[in-house]
C-alpha cells in the first residue's frame, strides 16, 4: 500500500542525485470520514487509463489499489476527428479491469473523468454511453479548466517551499495544462492558466518524418518545439516578469521518465521519483539526447521501452518549451495528479457532509 501524505520535496543534486477566469481557492484537508470507507478515481486520458482506490487517513490517504494501462485512446484522432474502433476496444478493456477492482474493493464513492481525447472526438459522447453499458462506469468529460484544477489539487503539496510565483504543469496525451499559482495563503490559489492543444500523442502525430534519418529527427524536433512555443505564446506574455525564486512542478509521464533517466534507475521506482527535485539543466540535457536518438535506441533505455519510445520525444519538446517560458533552476517531479485531486475533492466533500 502507498501512503499519500505531505512528503517534503527531495533534491537529487546536480550529479545524479488559457483562462484568467479560473481563480479558485483549493480545499483544505477534510476532518473525519466514516471508518473503512473506500474512494476511487479514474482518469481516462488520451494515452493512459489510470485508477486509484484509497481510504482516508489523518493527513492524507492510504492507497489500497491502483491500476494503469497505456490505451492510446487518442491514436489517429488528429487526422480522423474520431476515436478509432481499436482505441475504443483498448480503453473499454482497461475500464473493465477498473470496474472489477471497484467491486472487489467495495468502493462507496467514485468519480471517473475523461479528458482531451473525448473532448475533441466527434464520437466522444457515443463512446461514453458504450463505456457505461459495458462496464457500469459513468465517465464525465471534464473541461480543460477542471482538468487543470484537479491536477493542481493532486500534486501542489510537492511544491518547494518559497515566496516566489509557482508554475505547475501537466503534459498529457492530447493537451498540456499550465497553471500559475499563488502560495501565500494556507492553500494555493490559481491565478492564471492555459490548456495548449499539444500533448505527447497529438504532437507526435503532427510530425511525420523518417525516424532512421538523424537530420530528419533533429528537424522534426525543432518543428515540434516551434508548434508548442507558438501555442504557449499568449500565456507566456501574461506570466509575471519576476524571475527570482520561481518554482516549477511537473506531473506527467514525461517528467517522471526523464527523472528516472536522471537517476539512472534500472527500472521505474515511484518512491524514488515522486517529490524529487531535479536541476532543470539536467532535464534539458536528457531531452536533447533523447531527441537525437532513433526509436530503437530509445527502446533500449530503462524506464522507456516500447510503450514510450515513440512518444517521449514530443514530451521532451513540450518540457523544453515550458523551461523556456519559466526558467526555473530546479524542476519538481510529481507522480500524482488528477486522480489524487479527485480523491482529495471527494474526501473533502464527503467529510463536510458527514
Q: How confident is residue 25, by pLDDT bands cut at 50, 70 and 90? A: very low
Report the alpha-carbon distance of residue 346 to residue 218 in Å, rounded. Answer: 45
Task: Give residue 35's pLDDT.
Answer: 53
Task: Give residue 153's pLDDT.
Answer: 93
* pLDDT single digits (tens) 239-253: 998 777 789 999 989
Q: Are 262 and 282 in contact (CB under 8 A)?
A: yes
In three-state form (DSSP H/G/I as H, E/B as E, the rest C), the secondary structure along 27-60 is CCCCCCCCCCCCEEEEEECCCEEEEEEEEEECCE
pLDDT of 232 > 90? The answer is yes
Q: Average pLDDT, stretch 277-286?
A: 97
pLDDT of 6 > 60? The answer is no
| The residue to which cell 481525447 is assigned | 117
Collapsed DSSP state (helix, strand, coil) of residue 22: coil
> Among 9-18, 169-178, 307-316, which stretch is predicted with the lowest mean pLDDT?
9-18
> In the chain, pLDDT over 90 holds for what percent of residues?
76
Count CA atoms within 13 Å of residue 207 on its CB side. 27
Task: Give residue 9's pLDDT.
Answer: 60
- Per the prediction, the chain carries an average pLDDT of 89
Closest CA to 344 of 100, 95, 152, 182: 152
pLDDT of 126 > 70? The answer is yes
> Among 138-152, 183-197, 334-348, which stretch is predicted with the lowest mean pLDDT?
183-197
Task: Give residue 11's pLDDT.
Answer: 67
The dihedral built from the CA positions of residue 27, 30, 33 and 36, taken in this order, carries a sign that is: positive
Q: How confident is residue 2, by pLDDT bands cut at 50, 70 and 90? A: very low
Q: Average pLDDT, stretch 149-170?
A: 92
> In the chain, pLDDT over 70 holds for what percent of residues?
89
For the chain, helix, strand, coil in percent to 5 are 45, 20, 35
> Among 120-129, 179-188, 284-293, 340-349, which stretch is predicted with the lowest mean pLDDT?
179-188
Amino acid at each position: 500500500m502507498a501512503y499519500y501524505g505531505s512528503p517534503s520535496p527531495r533534491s537529487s543534486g546536480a550529479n545524479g542525485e488559457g483562462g484568467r477566469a479560473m481563480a479558485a481557492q483549493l480545499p483544505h484537508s477534510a476532518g473525519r470520514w466514516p471508518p473503512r470507507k473506500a474512494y476511487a478515481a479514474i482518469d481516462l486520458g488520451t494515452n493512459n487509463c489510470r485508477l486509484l482506490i484509497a481510504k482516508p487517513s489523518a493527513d492524507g490517504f492510504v492507497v489500497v489499489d491502483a491500476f494503469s494501462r497505456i490505451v492510446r485512446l487518442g491514436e489517429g484522432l488528429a487526422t480522423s476527428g474520431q476515436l478509432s474502433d481499436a482505441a475504443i476496444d483498448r480503453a473499454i478493456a482497461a475500464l473493465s479491469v477498473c470496474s472489477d477492482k471497484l467491486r472487489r474493493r467495495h468502493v462507496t464513492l467514485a468519480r471517473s473523468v475523461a479528458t482531451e481525447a473525448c473532448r475533441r472526438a466527434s464520437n466522444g459522447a457515443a463512446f461514453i454511453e458504450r463505456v457505461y453499458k459495458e462496464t457500469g462506469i459513468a465517465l464525465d468529460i471534464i473541461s480543460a479548466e477542471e482538468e487543470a484544477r484537479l491536477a493542481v489539487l493532486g500534486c501542489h503539496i510537492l511544491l518547494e517551499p518559497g515566496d516566489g510565483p509557482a508554475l505547475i504543469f501537466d503534459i498529457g496525451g492530447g493537451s498540456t495544462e499550465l497553471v500559475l499559482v499563488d502560495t501565500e495563503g494556507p492553500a494555493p490559489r490559481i491565478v492564471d492558466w492555459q490548456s495548449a492543444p499539444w500533448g505527447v500523442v497529438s504532437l507526435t502525430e503532427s510530425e511525420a518524418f523518417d525516424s532512421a534519418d538523424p537530420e530528419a529527427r533533429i528537424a522534426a524536433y525543432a518543428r515540434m518545439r516551434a508548434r508548442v512555443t507558438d501555442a504557449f505564446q499568449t500565456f507566456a506574455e501574461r506570466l509575471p516578469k519576476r524571475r527570482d525564486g520561481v518554482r516549477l512542478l511537473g506531473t506527467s509521464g514525461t517528467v517522471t521518465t526523464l527523472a528516472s533517466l536522471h537517476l539512472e534507475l534500472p527500472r521505474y521506482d515511484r518512491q524514488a521519483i515522486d517529490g524529487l527535485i531535479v536541476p532543470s539543466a539536467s532535464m534539458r540535457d536528457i531531452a536533447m539526447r533523447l531527441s537525437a536518438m532513433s526509436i530503437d535506441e530509445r527502446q533500449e533505455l530503462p524506464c522507456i521501452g516500447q510503450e514510450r519510445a515513440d512518444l517521449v520525444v514530443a514530451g521532451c519538446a513540450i518540457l523544453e518549451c515550458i523551461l523556456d517560458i519559466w526558467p526555473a533552476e530546479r524542476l519538481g517531479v510529481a507522480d500524482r495528479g488528477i486522480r489524487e485531486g479527485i480523491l482529495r475533492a471527494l474526501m473533502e466533500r464527503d467529510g463536510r457532509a458527514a
